[in-house]
Structure 1
Amino acid sequence: MLDSVVTQIKYIFSQRSLINQFTRREISNRYKGSYLGMIWSFITPLMMLTIYTFVFSVIFQARWGTTGETSKVEFALILFTGLIVFNVFSEVVSSAPNLIIANSNYVKKVIFPLEILPIVALGSALFQTLISYLILLLAILVLTGTFYWTALLFPIIILPLLLISLGLAWFLASLGVYIRDIGQIISIAVPALMFMSPIFYPISSIPEEFQFIYSLNPITYVVEDMRRAIIWGQQPNWSWLIIEFFVGLVIAVLGYIWFKKTRKGFADVL
């Protein structure tokens, strides 16, 4: 079993040139034909940050925690950090059901590695995430005059969520070929999951009897650790980070196995 997993990892790694090429094309196509082009990568997160902050901190008068001492600037940074984490998951999972259908011309090409398509989707989403992350660091530095070394732990903290996203993408990409309704289901489930994650509110504000539900949500731990490291300069919860890494690894492996087992019927269905 282990030898098979290692072999598949080597195989995917051998396709890195093709993955890089497709990822670049995906990023380029996202802004193709627009006047501002890649500038939208910076404008979009800034606009969403402004809108969410205005709605929650100005209209709803929301404050972080029970004391209500959080300033609007800190609230904006806290909110933006949670959105960065969720958006990478959301973009990958939301696009997954249509990945094979949208690239059906590659299905009948036996030599084309269809399994790289979810990786390409992850790479494209990660590109936007990195830009948003840099904007966040710059905003913290300019608005608060602080920069914590723990912010450099960003790749380690987000890795489990990337593995989970990739595993789900392989699973949903395959399932979307056989069950076309899966795309509609995901379009409802993802926004619901956003409000079921501690993005717009701290986990401490959740009634104790419901906190076990949030403990089952892998996004919860990543969001909380990201805020600890970037906003408050604290180290992540290493115990949960290690556990979630292995959970993500299992989901990624199972999703890949599912994809490989079911891809044989893609051509017949499409």
Structure 2
Amino acid sequence: MGRNQGVLNKGLRKLPKRAGLGIFYVLALALALLLVFHNNPLADPHTEFLKKICGCVLIGVSCILGYAWYDKLTVLPVELFHSRNLIKRLSINDFKKRYAGSYMGIVWALAQPVVTVVMYYIVFDVIFQSRAQAVSGGIEMPYVLFLTAGLVPWFFFTEALTNGTTSLLEYNYLVKKVLFKISILPIVKIIAAMFIHVFFICVMLVIACVYGYYPNIYWIQFIYYIGCEFLLVLSLSYATCAIVVFFRDLLQIINIGLQLFQWFTPILWNIAIVPDDYKWIIKLNPMAYIVEGYRNTIMGDTWFFEHFYSSTYFWLFVVAAFSIGTLIFKRSKPHFADVL
């Protein structure tokens, strides 16, 4: 009986691999065809051709690495899916634990975004009377709304990355338990940070309505961009949480790096001020894609798939970051209990 069960389990492991690789290759082929046949009449033909070549090369490399490392790269997603109920409970408990013992409790978590928005409104709209900023298509939006749409995703990115990085250190008593799947700890911290982010988004949308930008069909894209940022932070966190166990100074490096990285992201300034020859450097920053996406969604004039090259690059970056993070995490995992 045990032998037959082992054969059955082996067969079940092979079937998902074939199906998973098949789906991956179909998506890669579809993306490659879209990349080849996508044309932007306003773009420089030489630059367009170079983008197509680079994109196809990256897709080809992804297919090769996906086949070679399929088993290693799919371990974490499978563990997360099987532990989804536990992740939900731990995320809620982690969020509540932050404010346990305070009289106002969760109100403190919700007060921060409101105070931040009010502060920026007083400084930039009332005192300095900042002028509107142009976004996609040359449409202008009030500077306070422009700034808030950049700060909302950035605050989530910094909090989620920091909490995800320290997840193993904070829950070190769980890391030492043999049967506990420690791979769920980074995602628990990120989901806990997501609760504040969702409330902050609601505050931002209220501000948009105050300035005359009412809900429309484009606002459904917030679901897409939230998912983009969630997967981006999760991909980075698997690498950082594993490394920080052995190199504690990494957390301080990340904090300083985030301060510098904020100025490299078009949050307080408009990407339109950058010369066209150098905009591609700014767009290498994946958070620029998220920030611009939030702003364009509020304006309700652009779908995410209209920015084809930016979307393609972003997802290739996320897949690469997740692959590297997964490999680092799995290689380091056997040594976590010894160090902690």
Q: TM-score, normalised by structure 2?
A: 0.72
- In the alignment, the residues of structure 2 paired with residue 178 and residue 24 of structure 1 have an alpha-carbon distance, to the nearest angstrom, of 28
Residue 105 (structure 2) pairs with residue 30 (structure 1): no
Q: Which residue of 2 aligns with 1:265?
A: 335
How many residue pairs get aligned? The number is 267
Q: CA deviation at 1:22?
A: 1.0
SS of alignment partner, residue 182 of structure 2: coil
**AA partner of residue 267 (structure 1):** A
Residue 207 (structure 2) pairs with residue 139 (structure 1): yes
SS of alignment partner, residue 37 of structure 1: coil
State whether residues 149 and 233 of structure 1, in contact with CA within 8 Å, keep that contact through their aligned partners in structure 2: no
- In the alignment, the residues of structure 2 paired with residue 165 and residue 35 of structure 1 have an alpha-carbon distance, to the nearest angstrom, of 32
Q: CA deviation at 1:231?
A: 2.9
State whether residues 163 and 248 of structure 1, in contact with CA within 8 Å, keep that contact through their aligned partners in structure 2: yes
Q: Which residue of 2 aligns with 1:249?
A: 319
Residue 290 (structure 2) pairs with residue 222 (structure 1): yes
Report 1 or 2 for greater relative contact order, CA contacts < 8 Å, sequence distance ≥ 6: 1
Structural mapping, 1:16-27, within 5 Å: 16-27=84-95
Q: CA deviation at 1:157?
A: 2.2
Q: Which residue of 1 aligns with 2:279?
A: 211
- Among 136, 139, 158, which residue is 1:90 paired with? 158
Q: CA deviation at 1:83?
A: 1.0
Structural mapping, 1:1-16, within 5 Å: 1-16=69-84
1:183-206 superposed Cα distances (whole Å, 9 cap, x missing partner): 110111112111211111110012
State whether residues 282 and 288 of structure 2, in contact with CA within 8 Å, keep that contact through their aligned partners in structure 1: yes
SS of alignment partner, residue 144 of structure 1: coil
Structural mapping, 1:1-270, within 5 Å: 1-58=69-126, 61-65=129-133, 74-144=142-212, 146-208=214-276, 210-236=278-304, 237-239=306-308, 240-270=310-340
Q: CA deviation at 1:27?
A: 0.8
State whether residues 45 and 132 of structure 1, in contact with CA within 8 Å, keep that contact through their aligned partners in structure 2: yes
1:191-240 superposed Cα distances (whole Å, 9 cap, x missing partner): 21112111111100124454333121001111111111113443234412
**AA partner of residue 206 (structure 1):** V
Percent of aligned pairs sharing the same letter: 28
- In the alignment, the residues of structure 1 paired with residue 173 and residue 196 of structure 2 have an alpha-carbon distance, to the nearest angstrom, of 27
Q: CA deviation at 1:13?
A: 0.6
Q: CA deviation at 1:123?
A: 0.4
**AA partner of residue 63 (structure 1):** R
RMSD: 2.4
Q: CA deviation at 1:181?
A: 0.5
**AA partner of residue 112 (structure 1):** F
**AA partner of residue 37 (structure 1):** G
State whether residues 159 and 193 of structure 2, in contact with CA within 8 Å, keep that contact through their aligned partners in structure 1: yes
Decide which structure has the larger Cα Rg and report it.
2
Q: CA deviation at 1:160?
A: 2.5
Q: CA deviation at 1:45?
A: 0.7
Q: Which residue of 1 aligns with 2:44?
A: none
1:60-96 superposed Cα distances (whole Å, 9 cap, x missing partner): 5543447xx967xx22222111111111211121223
Q: CA deviation at 1:17?
A: 1.4
Q: CA deviation at 1:254?
A: 2.2
1:93-147 superposed Cα distances (whole Å, 9 cap, x missing partner): 1223322122211122111111111101110121111111122222322441622
Q: Which consecutive unaligned segments of at least 5 residues does structure 2 have? A: 1-68
Q: TM-score, normalised by structure 1?
A: 0.89
Out of 9-18 and 157-166, give the one that drifted further: 157-166
